[in-house]
Chains A and B, each alone.
Chain A
């Protein structure tokens, strides 16, 4: 039996399938009929599936597409995605069995069919045994993985303890540990993913790796920055760089730590943090304060502008447009009109007209 493409819905009482094209076509299975569910992972040419094993139909079964079937299970094929989440939710509902405690909206009789439970078709027993074996096997794999993971974590914990001890010593004896050794220590912390308790102003929380990264970024971002008026938000940079890399991506922290070193390494780009917390990368040659002057001209021409309008006019992202207008306001060139219709900026006539 094949039902083509549709939407699968899960309620506390039923599993419902509705045809995507013909909305009238809708079939449902009460959750109480489910014996067991199992996952089938996706493969080449195959989509991920959930197999739902059912009790034999009770005599008072609602009319449906088939009165009976030689199969005791149905297969749900997830052609696109959502299998993992759906499996989790379905498992939860089956475990919780909320349909037993909650009344249904309609006058539908949900009889507790204890009789049906005993009279089982042979097929189901055989299937259940196989599933039980498979479950034990999977459990064994998972528990082996957890065991190995626990052992690994024990070792990692030792490393954390050791690093704390070293960090304490460094703190107590500032100046007695060489710069070289501090650098080595920081790179060990980086490899393990242990937070750096030592803050030396010279390098911040950066390491050799971040220094190299900073230099790479300076090279990589030169052209994109020029194309975007000399300024980009850090999230833009994150996406640009990682899309370009494809593999061995940068973590957000890697990016921030590298950018913090740009200034001290005297590279042609720099990190700037606005009052709002927004972080941007600018070309050294970029002068945001000068851009403010041209922003003032633009706003004056139009009388007044919101960040959205300004962004569209100039061809900037709304985020950066807003920061520029806020900066102009901070410098006294613009005034704000803050109403429920939005934040609008006007030239500051208090300043220009005496």
Chain B
């Protein structure tokens, strides 16, 4: 039996040696690929998407570590990690306005503004991938599908299915009322109230009690007027010391 065990260990060591050799070969292949197509990845967002999807299919995460081959040789890492920094800064600067919820569109606009005229263009897909990576930092980053787009959460507020569904309902007009929730979702008043109060407390919703028929709960994240507003110097200071 001891011999059996021994043999098992040797096999694993063999495989480790084999992996080391294959790794070196792979590194060379990747270098070759990079020399031919690095620019393509840099300039072509569709190609980036294809690349990421193929990696995901085979079980490889090219963005897991800056020390990974993919990042080192293709430069994909720096692109997304820097984008992560820019996303964090925009979200922090605008948090007091929208409670930590922002549409993907507005985030995209503000990030592009921050990057300046001569920086490489980024797509919404790029933003989503960067955000998925940021989740691990524990700051509450999340992606909520609403309408045809996404709301990006950047604070550790707990948003469960009920909250998400109400956000999706509010996305159409930018606001929602208790009656709408009751008729669309068939909820009792109490449940609707709880959800709306939670959003109010978190600063993600604002209450308009002077609306004609009944109080309206607005989501500042969806105010289109805010899209064109610049981030003020005070807000920028709040972002990162």
Q: Which residues of A contact B (CB under 8 A)?
A: 41, 47-48, 79-85, 88, 141-142, 145-146, 148-150, 152-153, 155-160, 162-163, 165-166, 169-170, 172-173, 176-177, 181, 184-185, 188, 190-195, 209, 228, 233-236, 238-240, 242-243, 247-256, 273, 276-279, 318-319, 338-340, 342-343
Contacts and interface: CB of A to CB of B under 8 A. Distances in A.
A255 B63 contact: no
Contacts of B9: 173, 176-177
B52 to A, nearest CB: 11
Interface of B: 5, 8-9, 11-13, 15-16, 18-20, 22-23, 25-27, 29-30, 33, 36-37, 40, 43-45, 47, 50-51, 54-55, 57-72, 77-78, 81-82, 84-85, 88-89, 95, 108, 112, 115, 117, 119, 121-124, 133-140, 155-156, 197, 200-201, 203, 207, 240-241
A209 B67 contact: yes
Contacts of B81: 242, 249-252
Contacts of B136: 252-253, 256
B146 to A, nearest CB: 19
Contacts of A342: 201, 203
A152 B156 contact: no
Contacts of B137: 234-235, 238, 252, 255-256, 279
A228 B45 CA distance: 39
A211 B64 CA distance: 16
Nearest to B69: A191
A255 B70 CA distance: 18
A150 B58 CA distance: 11
B82 A193 contact: no
B5 to A, nearest CB: 7
13 contacts: A149-B51, A159-B22, A163-B19, A166-B15, A173-B8, A184-B16, A185-B19, A193-B70, A194-B60, A236-B241, A276-B156, A277-B156, A278-B156
Contacts of A148: 33, 36-37
Contact of A235 (B23, B66, B139): B139
A249 B82 contact: yes
Contacts of B13: 181
Contacts, number: 222
A193 B88 CA distance: 24
A239 B60 contact: no
Contact of B62 (A47, A176, A193, A239): A193
A321 B75 CA distance: 37
B16 A185 contact: yes
Nearest to A164: B59
A48 B121 contact: yes
Contacts of A176: 5, 8-9, 12
Given A166-B16, A319-B139, A340-B207, A156 B60 contact: yes
A156 B73 CA distance: 15
Contacts of A157: 58-59
Given A80-B112, A85-B124, A159-B22, 18 more contacts: A79-B117, A80-B117, A81-B115, A84-B121, A85-B121, A153-B57, A158-B22, A184-B20, A191-B23, A191-B67, A192-B68, A194-B61, A235-B88, A240-B240, A249-B78, A251-B71, A256-B137, A278-B138
Given A81-B115, A158-B22, A249-B81, A195 B89 contact: no
Contact of A252 (B26, B40, B134): B134
A169 B11 contact: yes
Contact of B112 (A82, A158, A252): A82
Query: Which of A48, A193, A243, A248 is packed against the most chain B CB atoms within 10 Å?
Result: A193
Contacts of A195: 59, 61, 64
A38 to B, nearest CB: 14
A83 to B, nearest CB: 6
Contact of A160 (B59, B134, B138): B59
Contact of B58 (A160, A318, A338): A160
B20 A88 contact: no
Counting from the closest, the 7 A-B pairs by CB-CB distance are A279-B138, A249-B81, A169-B12, A157-B58, A84-B121, A193-B61, A235-B139
Contact of B117 (A81, A150, A235): A81
A146 B50 contact: yes
B23 A193 contact: no
Contacts of A247: 78
A26 B95 CA distance: 35
Contacts of B33: 148-149, 152
Nearest to A224: B241
B12 A173 contact: yes
B139 A234 contact: yes
B5 A239 contact: no
Nearest to A241: B85
A249 B16 contact: no
Contacts of B70: 193
A132 to B, nearest CB: 20
A81 B59 contact: no
B85 A239 contact: yes
